[in-house]
Structure 1
Amino acid sequence: MQRQGSIGGSAAIRLRATGIVLLVAHLLFVAWVTLRPRDVPWVMPTNLHPFDGIRADLRLGPQEAARRIGEGLALLAPLGVLLPLVHGRLRVSPLASLIRTVTAGALLSLAIELLQTGVPGQVADVDSLLLNTAGVALAHATVVPAARVWLRRRGERRVRAAVPQEEAAQGRAPRIPRVGVAP
């Protein structure tokens, strides 16, 4: 039995399976990038003051700031698309979907920052948490609503195209012309 508002059929199973594989691959990549030990002679202190690291990045110049802030935004941004894809629902409140996805992204980013405290050469940074969460929100807001609309329209076209074929297979019901009421 199909859930209300979910993608139907074997295409949905393939789409969700692809989403799961991509999600696992992305999480493995994120773990490799963020949790591997680094052999560095000196490490910046932990940043627990919001926006201090972003301000420091902005002081480095526009190119370096764009690179560093872009890296923070892009690290977990694919989760904004992959988590709803794995969930597989087409008819869901856009706000509820955004809140669920951003919350999951924020919790994952928080877990990464907490795990980094025990890794040599890695430092916890509250700005990374903020940028990662903002990246998830931006990716979700820009891609998911449009993708859901496209998939819903595509599914409706398939249903409309399939109905005449089903009627032809079963035989058409006789059409009786309406007769008006006599005076």
Structure 2
Amino acid sequence: MVVRVAGFLLLLAHLLLVAWLTLRPRDVAWVTAPNLTPLAGIRSDLVLGPAEAARRIADGLLLLAPLGVLLPMADGRLTVSPWASLTRTAAAGALVSLAVELLQTAVPGQVVDVDSVLLNTTGVVLAHLLLVPAARARLRRRSGTARGSSSRRSRRAASQGPTPTIPRVGIAP
């Protein structure tokens, strides 16, 4: 319960930060054309040199990467299929990224870039794969030791024999 509430509050704080970073108007003399060709922006970043390309690609990967951890944390389930969790998290990350890009169309100085959606979603998936399975395993181990005493009690009760049953009594005509 504590993990779920903390995850939800951190998720809300992160989304507010992302909105503040990405949806502020920019004072620019000119605006570039929207990039609707996948990987074209990344290719143009690579032309700028390795340091600038690494910075721009890292910015795209890291912007929404915390969602890869915060979304499962806000969900709060410990026993869930890893593939289902990854799929849900990746889809939610892609939708958040797409929403940010679509909202940017109304902000002066901001331009739609399909590569941002690709990089943001990749960042969400990488963060999820690197952190969530290990964190869930650790939390399951910790909660498993807390449940150990109650499961011993239920095994003791099961060894006392079956619960007696009462035969059904029919209703009189």
TM-score, structure 1 length as denominator?
Answer: 0.81
Q: Distance in 2 between matches of 1:77 and 1:22?
A: 13
**Equivalent residue, structure 1, for 2:46:** 58
The C-alpha deviation readout for 1:85-113, integer Å capped at 9, x for no partner, is 00010110000000000000001111111
The answer for unaligned runs of 5 or more in structure 2 is 161-173
Is 1:106 the counterpart of 2:94 in the alignment? yes
Q: Tell me by how many angstroms 1:159 deviates.
A: 2.0
**Equivalent residue, structure 2, for 1:79:** 67
110 and 14 in structure 1: CA distance in 2 versus 1, 3 angstrom threshold: same
**Equivalent residue, structure 1, for 2:27:** 39
**Equivalent residue, structure 1, for 2:10:** 22
Q: Tell me by how many angstroms 1:162 deviates.
A: 6.2
Stretch deviating more after TM superposition (154-163 or 25-34): 154-163
Percent identity reads 63
Q: Distance in 2 between matches of 1:20 and 1:91?
A: 19
96 and 163 in structure 1: CA distance in 2 versus 1, 3 angstrom threshold: closer
Measured on the aligned residues, the alpha-carbon RMSD in Å equals 1.9
Q: Tell me by how many angstroms 1:157 deviates.
A: 1.5
Is 1:139 the counterpart of 2:123 in the alignment? no
Aligned-partner residue type, residue 97 of structure 1? S
Runs of at least 4 residues of structure 1 off by over 3 A? 161-164
Is 1:122 the counterpart of 2:106 in the alignment? no
Is the partner of 1:91 in helix, strand or coil? Answer: coil
Q: How do 1:164-175 and structure 2 match up within 5 A?
A: none
Q: Tell me by how many angstroms 1:44 deviates.
A: 1.5
Aligned-partner residue type, residue 144 of structure 2? E
**Equivalent residue, structure 1, for 2:167:** none
TM-score, structure 2 length as denominator?
Answer: 0.85
Aligned-partner residue type, residue 44 of structure 1? T
Q: Tell me by how many angstroms 1:160 deviates.
A: 2.3
Is the partner of 2:19 in helix, strand or coil? Answer: helix
Q: Tell me by how many angstroms 1:128 deviates.
A: 0.2
